[in-house]
Chain A
Amino acid sequence: AQTVTQSQPEMSVQEAETVTLSCTYDTSESDYYLFWYKQPPSRQMILVIRQEAYKQQNATENRFSVNFQKAAKSFSLKISDSQLGDAAMYFCAYRRGYGGATNKLIFGTGTLLAVQP
């Protein structure tokens, strides 16, 4: 069975600095997708970034980028120029790439990021 591990329950970063959140996963599949979701306090969970396993290039969305190491089964999220609005719980998630509609996302336990002014 696939598992997703986030080993950092809490992180803290100074405003304008860079922070990296770690995620590792375990799978025997070769085709899959990885996601980072953000859950701000008392607000809806939203997608931050997505990575297809078959793509070697790391995904980037503005200040958010990933370091995808397929062989090491590692998928870290880097937040550059951290802003107060980045304070949130961040979840790493895995989805098998084939199998159609019934594929489900498997989530890690989350990392709570605090941004210090």
Chain B
Amino acid sequence: DVKVTQSSRYLVKRTGEKVFLECVQDMDHENMFWYRQDPGLGLRLIYFSYDVKMKEKGDIPEGYSVSREKKERFSLILESASTNQTSMYLCASSLWGVPGANVLTFGAGSRLTVL
């Protein structure tokens, strides 16, 4: 019954490494999102995508990039990981164009530690 799958629950990386966080949804949703969750800061939007190959910056895009080559897959890329990117990363998806909807379905999260 899993609908939004994040490939890794826990990752440990070194400073300067390139990191890929993968997210796949099986609900045929148009919208996909990457959030970062930190204690006391809530969820902050990094990037989102409303269609294949389309992306828009969220509130904190610096140090991140994304890729959406297929509708069901949305990848978050840390080009050169830094310790301040240690965090929980949440992927989510939603339908487009349904008035009043935009209810997000979340993945289980990926906890990244950068040493």
Contacts and interface: CB of A to CB of B under 8 A. Distances in A.
Indicate, yes or no, whether A interacts with B. yes
A104 B94 CA distance: 11
B100 A52 contact: yes
Interface in B31-48: 31, 33, 35, 40-45, 48
Given A33-B102, A100-B96, A105-B102, A44 B107 contact: yes
Interface residues of B, number: 27
Contacts of B90: 45
Nearest to A4: B42
A31 to B, nearest CB: 10
A75 interface: no
A47 B104 CA distance: 8
A25 B95 CA distance: 25
A97 B100 contact: yes
Contacts, number: 54
A107 B43 contact: yes
B27 to A, nearest CB: 14
Interface in A66-104: 91, 95, 97, 100-104
Nearest to A92: B42
Nearest to A103: B102
B64 interface: no
A104 B35 CA distance: 11
* Best-buried of B45, B50, B100 by chain A (most CB within 10 Å): B100
A42 B56 CA distance: 29
